[in-house]
Amino acid sequence: MKKILIIQTAYIGDVILATSLVEYIKGQLPECKIHFLLRKGNESLLEENPQIEKVWVWDKGKKFSSMFSIISGLREEKFDYTFNIQRFTNSAIFTLMSGANQKIGFKSNILSLFFSKAIEHKIPYNYQDTFLHEVQRNFLLIQDIIKKDIPSKENLKPKLYFTEQDHKKIEDLNLPSDYIVLAPASVWFTKQWPKDHWQTLLELLGGQNCYFIGAPTDIDFINRIIGKNQNAKNLAGKLNLRQSALLMKDARRVIVNDSAPLHLASSVNAKTSALFCSTVPDFGYGPLSDDAKTLQIMPRLECMPCGLHGKKECPQGHFKCALEVDVDAVTQRSF
C-alpha cells in the first residue's frame, strides 16, 4: 500500500485544483493513503474529503516553529512519495525533509536539484497544439506511478465535499428553482471586470434571481453593484468556501472573474461563464465544467497578458482588456 504526501501551500484556487490529483490517484490506486499539506486558512476546503487520510496545516504566521513541528510529524509517517505542487522555497523544505523515498516536484523550484525527480513546469505550457491546464501540469508529477498519458483536462476535474451543515445552510436560503450566482470581486484589480459592467449585467438580467458571493471585504463593493435591485441578494461573508461552491452547483449560471470562485465552480461542475481581463486562459486556469464559456476581448490587445497574475492597476492606464469585454456579448453567450 503506497503512502503519499501532496504539498500545495499556495492559495485557495491552487488547493481546489490540486484536489484533481487526489481524485485521480485514488481512482487508480484505491488502497493508497493520501496526506495533504497546505497553509492555514485553506484547510476548510479539504475537511470533508474522504479521499484524504490527514490534512497537515502550516501556520505561516508561526513560520519556523510550525514548520519544524510538521516536519517532525511527517518523518514519522514514512511516505513512499512526496509530490510538491508548489514552486517556492518553503514547500521545497517540507519536501526534502518529509522523509519520503521519492521526492518529486517542479524544476522551477529553487531547490529542485535535490529532489528525486524534477518535472518541467511552463506557463503557458504548449503541448500537442494546445495549452495544458494546471490540473494537467500537476498530473505530470504523478505520471511515474500512474503510468498513463496526460488525461484531458475534463477527466481531471477538482472536487469538493460537503457537510450536513453546508447543505442545511443552502436549504435555509429557500432558493428559487431558477437563480444565477455572480462573483464580481477579485484580489487583483486587473482581473476584475469593472463595477459598471456588473451593474449593467444585473440590469440586463431583469427580474431574474441573482445571488452575489464574495469575502467579507467584498460586501461594500457588491452593495454598490446591487443598489436598489430587489431581485439581487448579497451573500458576501455569509457563506464559507464550501457553501459558496454548493450554492453554485445548481445555479442556472455562474458568472465569475479569473479568480478563486472560478475554481469553486469547477469543483461542482457548475454552468460557468468565466471573464478574463488582463490574464489569458492559455495560462491554464480556465473553467473545467462541462458547460463552460470563456469570455475575453478578441482579438487580444498587444499588451495582453500584462503578467502571470493580476496587477493593482493597468500598466497602460487604459484597462481596455476589461472595459471592452462587452456586457451584451456576455449576456448573449451565457444564456
The per-residue pLDDT for range 219-273, each reduced to its tens digit, is 999 999 999 999 999 999 999 999 999 999 999 999 999 999 999 999 999 999 9
Band the pLDDT of 168: cuts 50, 70, 90. very high
Please work out, in degrees rounded to the nearest 5, the angle formed at the alpha carbon of residue 273 by the alpha carbons of 186 and 235: 50
Inter-CA distances, 82 with 111, 148, 211, 276, Å: 14, 19, 40, 34
pTM of model > 0.85:
yes
3-state helix, strand, coil in the chain (%, to 5): 40, 15, 45
Distances (CA, A) of 81 to 25, 96, 320: 12, 11, 46
Q: What is the pLDDT of residue 207?
A: 86
Instruction: Give residue-wise pLDDT tens across range 75-119.
Output: 999 999 999 999 899 999 999 999 999 999 999 999 999 999 999
Tell me where in the chain the CATH 3.40.50.2000 domain(s) lie: 3-155, 166-334
pLDDT for residue 22 = 98
Give the pLDDT confidence of 261-274 residue by residue, as tens digits: 999 999 999 999 99
Is residue 1's pLDDT more than 90? no
Task: Indicate whether 63 pLDDT > 90.
Answer: no
CATH architecture entry for 166-334 = 3-Layer(aba) Sandwich (3.40)
**pLDDT for the residue numbered 127:** 93
pLDDT at 80: 98
Residue tagged 484536489 (cell numbers) = 19
- State the fold for domain 3-155: Rossmann fold (3.40.50)
- Percent residues over pLDDT 70 in the chain: 100
